[in-house]
Amino acid sequence: MRKPADTAVPILPVIAERWSPRAFDPEKTLTEADLKPLFEAARWAPSSSNTQPWRFVYAFRGEPFFDALVDCAAEGNQPWVRRVSVLAYAVAKLHSDSGRPLWHNRHDTGIALGYLLLQATANGLAVHPFGGFDSDKVIAAANVPEGFEPCTGIGIGFPGDPDMLPERDRLRELGGRERLPVRDFAFHGKWPSESRE
């Protein structure tokens, strides 16, 4: 299923095509070779002082660790998360090796994740980043060391049939895509007085 963005001006096709589905094909699988280009794309993301604070922990559906990672997801996300081929969590390093706080760690990890999402889209995969998960559970399940913080869950797989989703998710899957207009977040000059959000 495709849901290309209705953009106001032309943009890169891979950006227009990227969206976050909940319907994943529970029969199809991925391999390490399928994931390698995604992590290679993330590898080349920019970061403050080249600190590269991102880390990813992941498991393939069918592995015991996959079930442990599914259990970290919020209850409302678990029905669709169980169908992804790979479940990952992006984790950000909090301090440099010298102990300096990495104030841009989440920002940099987000850029790396963005690169991963676009590469996955270009490769014909479906990817859904999500924030509904228990960070403490991820730390415990994945043995995340002190000094690192889980940021985002990531479901990766192949597009599936929306009819397999619960009603609420199915309606969202089939609905349109909406975004704020550019004028609401890009201000030439000072912040407009009528927009304080």
Tell me the H-state helices in 44-191: 64-70, 78-81, 105-122, 135-142, 167-174
Q: pLDDT per residue over 132-166, tens digit each?
A: 999 999 999 999 999 999 999 999 999 999 998 88
Q: Please give the Cα distance from 178 to 25 (Å, whole number).
A: 25
Q: Please give the Cα distance from 30 to 17 (Å, whole number).
A: 21
Residue 51 structure tokens: 């600190």
Q: Look at residue 70 and tell me whether its pLDDT is greater than 90.
A: yes
Residue 80: CB atoms within 10 Å: 22
| Sheet containing 54-60, strands listed edge to edge, beginning at the edge strand earlier in sequence | 54-60, 86-93, 148-157, 126-130
44 Cβ neighbours under 8 A, 6+ residues apart? 115
Domains of the chain (ranges; CATH) run: 24-159 (3.40.109.10)
pLDDT of residue 167: 87
Judging by beta carbons within 10 Å of its beta carbon (0-12, 13-18, 19+), is residue 73 exposed, middle or buried? buried
Q: Please give the Cα distance from 134 to 130 (Å, whole number).
A: 11
Q: pLDDT per residue over 3-35, tens digit each?
A: 889 889 999 999 999 999 999 999 999 999 999
